[in-house]
Amino acid sequence: MNRRTLIAGLMTFPALSVVSRLSLGGAQTHEVAMKFTPLEVPHSYWRDKVSAQAYEVLFEEATEPAGSSPLDDVDEEGTFVCAACYLPMFDSESKFDSGTGWPSFTQPIEGHMATKQDFKMIWPRTEYHCARCGGHQGHVFNDGPPPRGERWCNNGLALRFVPIDETLPELRA
Ligand SMILES: [Zn+2]
């Protein structure tokens, strides 16, 4: 090894150790903490901005058929954002396979989801929606894994997945 390669080796070593620390330190995540104010636009505003099927889920509270969403199988690192306004909804770290055929999460990104009770199935269920645009996302149940015991059962059509190596899209309105 000559002097030049020795120096190059010494210089790359710290960089490599930083990379390995990052990958050993747990999953990477997008910076999702962001300030936002709820939008005050009518639901019809989104009609030409999302697909017809996504509109039915987001703004008419339809439920997509179980097993129909390709997002159910996504297990890469990244962030799931609202398909309408792009507000981050879930970190991939909170995703788990519930076996239901819908993308399922143990918890949403704090402060980004709002809830209400609905009685569409006769018994009360907790509906949840994007805190920014009001777009319906899914229902939360109390049969999820520990420690929180929550299962946030989401329509894939109401989400868009952004892999960790892509920049989150700007919020839209
Ligand atoms: Zn939204």
Q: Ligand 1 (ion): which residues have CB within 5 A?
A: 82, 84-85, 87, 130, 132-133, 135
- Give residue 121's pLDDT: 74
State how far the Cα of 123 lies from the Cα of 8, in Å rounded to an integer: 67
Confidence tier at 20 by pLDDT (50, 70, 90):
very low
Is residue 143 exposed (0-12), middle (13-18) or buried (19+ Cβ within 10 Å)?
exposed
Ligand 1 centroid, distance to 141 Cα (angstroms): 21
Q: Are 108 and 89 in contact (CB under 8 A)?
A: yes
Could you say which of 82, 130, 133, 153 is catalytic?
153
Please say whether the structural domain 29-163 has been given the CATH code 3.40.50.2300: no
Q: Say which residue the tokens 């969403």 belong to.
A: 69
Average of per-residue pLDDT across 17-34: 61
- Is 153 annotated in the active site? yes
Q: Check pLDDT > 60 for residue 136.
A: yes
Per the rule left: phi > 0, alpha: psi between -120 and 50, beta: everything else, 98 is alpha
Alpha-carbon gap, residue 124 to 148, rounded angstroms = 20
Q: Taking the model in full, what pTM does it have? A: 0.82
- What confidence category does residue 112 fall into, taking pLDDT thresholds of 50, 70 and 90? very high
Instruction: Tell me the average pLDDT across 138-167.
Output: 97
Measured in Å, residue 136 CA sits from the centre of ligand 1 at 8
Cβ pair 32, 167 in contact under 8 A: no
Give the mean pLDDT of the chain. 88
The pLDDT of residue 65 is above 70: yes
Closest Cα partner for 68 from 163, 164, 154, 161? 154
Question: Lowest-confidence range among 20-29, 32-41, 63-72, 101-110?
Answer: 20-29
Calculate how far, in angstroms, residue 5's C-alpha sits from the geometric centre of ligand 1: 53
Q: Where are the domains of the chain?
A: 29-163
The DSSP code for 160 is: E
What confidence score (pLDDT) does residue 1 get?
47
The pLDDT of residue 4 is 55
